[in-house]
A = this chain, B = another copy of it.
Amino acid sequence: MRIGILGTGTVGSTLGTKLVQLGHEVKMGSRSTNNEKAAEWVRNSHSSKATQGTFSDAASFGELVFNCTPGAVSLEALEMAGPQNLRGKVLVDVANVLDFSKGMPPTLTVANTDSLAEQIQRTFPDAKVVKSLNTVAAEIMVDPQMVPGDHDVFVCGNDAEAKNQVKKILGEFGWKNITDLGDISSARGLEMWLALWWRLRMYFQSRIFNLHLQRQS
């Protein structure tokens, strides 16, 4: 599958590397054609399946696109990627809207009555936005076995077939417990989880943890 990755940070490079290892063709996009972090990722991938380009190049290239940009600038990055390059495509939003400007732990730039994923879906109505993976650290996204025992990942979005495609990729990553929370508005819950996640991270002094939902069977 051809996959576009928007963003050159830890999340983008971790997802990109795993997707290349799984045999997918991946183009990492950023503001410029020759972004140094993207170039380093391409070099370290040692694979012709890993390439780089602009946000627009990556979105155009991908049959499926991951938004791995920081949440506070995601709408701007997606605007640069271009609505025409996202039309009809699955857009997996893994971003978090963290605001570190007021100190630690961070607050969110949008919460409660709206979410980044909903903003993206409203702004790009022809994309099929699926929120997923934002609830865990980058290493765990592509290697859930790092965390012992059963633990959970979520998807939500308005398009059932788009969610199925994302669930398939989550399965390739090794995820076993995938909970579908319905339409894209459930992204509010997934993004607001970060408020508790950050405090747990500080308490555990580690980001290698995840939640598991226990319930009556």
Contacts and interface: CB of A to CB of B under 8 A. Distances in A.
A196 to B, nearest CB: 3
Given A192-B192, A195-B112, A200 B181 contact: yes
A48 interface: no
Contacts of A150: 214
Q: How many copies does the complex hold?
A: 2
B112 A214 contact: no
A72 interface: no
Contact of A111 (B112, B208, B215): B112
Contact of A186 (B146, B199, B213): B199
Interface of A: 102, 107-108, 111-113, 146-151, 179-182, 186, 188-190, 192-193, 195-200, 202-204, 206, 208-217
Contacts of A212: 211-214
A211 B214 contact: yes
26 contacts: A102-B113, A107-B112, A108-B112, A111-B111, A112-B192, A146-B216, A147-B214, A147-B215, A149-B214, A151-B214, A179-B200, A180-B203, A182-B199, A182-B203, A186-B199, A189-B199, A189-B200, A190-B196, A192-B196, A193-B195, A200-B213, A208-B216, A209-B213, A209-B215, A211-B212, A211-B214
Nearest to A212: B212
Contacts of A192: 111-112, 192-193, 195-196
A206 B210 contact: no
A169 B137 CA distance: 34
Contacts of A214: 147-151, 209-212
Contacts of A179: 200, 203
A206 B215 contact: yes
A142 B111 CA distance: 31
Given A107-B113, A206-B215, A209-B216, 5 more contacts: A148-B214, A193-B193, A210-B214, A212-B213, A212-B214
